[in-house]
Amino acid sequence: HLPIASVTKVISTLLVVEAIDNGKITLQDSVTVSEYAAGMGGSQVFLEAGETMSVEDLLKSVIVVSANDATVALGEHICGSEAAFISAMNERARELGCENSNFVNTNGLPVENHYSCAYDIALITRELMKHELVFKYTGIWMDTIRDGKFGLANTNKLIRFYKGATGMKTGFTGEAKYCLSGTAKRDGMHLIA
């Protein structure tokens, strides 16, 4: 049982893309940011309370720059509250066979009893890879949101420098240190590390 920092977002992202793929939400939906979501620390896109942003731009922010505020905003949009989204994260992880994971927040900021392991993250990542939509964003090196006014640079440097890299999620906190769920495809073989 180890802290995994923002690699937590593989399960958060899975719930978002599943909600999109099953028609519960769309990429074009407008999300109004709560004061709580806007107050998230760590990696962020500096959302302001009351600001509206599309699901697509929030998802891109989560995947490319690991935005904690965007993750909370999406969780609230899908489930009504962060607490309900966290409950859904844990339930989905159990459905996937994750026996050594417990999520206490949506984004991996340091908190007691929030943990996973390499095997469980691989299971979740494998499920996430079934959704082609995610690869529209995981391969982005640089992009923008807010009509080009806010730049995004991928936290996963492998995307730029490792042949065949396709994603998936980086993370860092002082407690967790450097964490990675890495995916790459070469010669028709797609692997998770």
Kindly name the residue from 6, 34, 101, 116 that is annotated as catalytic: 6
What is the Cβ-side half-sphere exposure of residue 137, based on CA atoms within 13 angstroms?
A: 26
Residues 6+ apart with CB under 8 A from 131: 14, 17, 18, 21
Task: Tell me the DSSP string of 75-118.
Answer: HHHHHSSHHHHHHHHHHHHHHTT--S-B-SSSS--S-TT-BB-H
Residue that the structure tokens 């074009």 belong to: 28
Question: Does 6 qualify as catalytic in the annotation?
Answer: yes
Kindly name the residue from 12, 43, 61, 66 that is annotated as catalytic: 66
Most distant CA atoms of the chain, gap in Å: 46
Question: Does 87 qualify as catalytic in the annotation?
Answer: no
Question: Does 9 qualify as catalytic in the annotation?
Answer: yes
Active site residues: 6, 9, 66
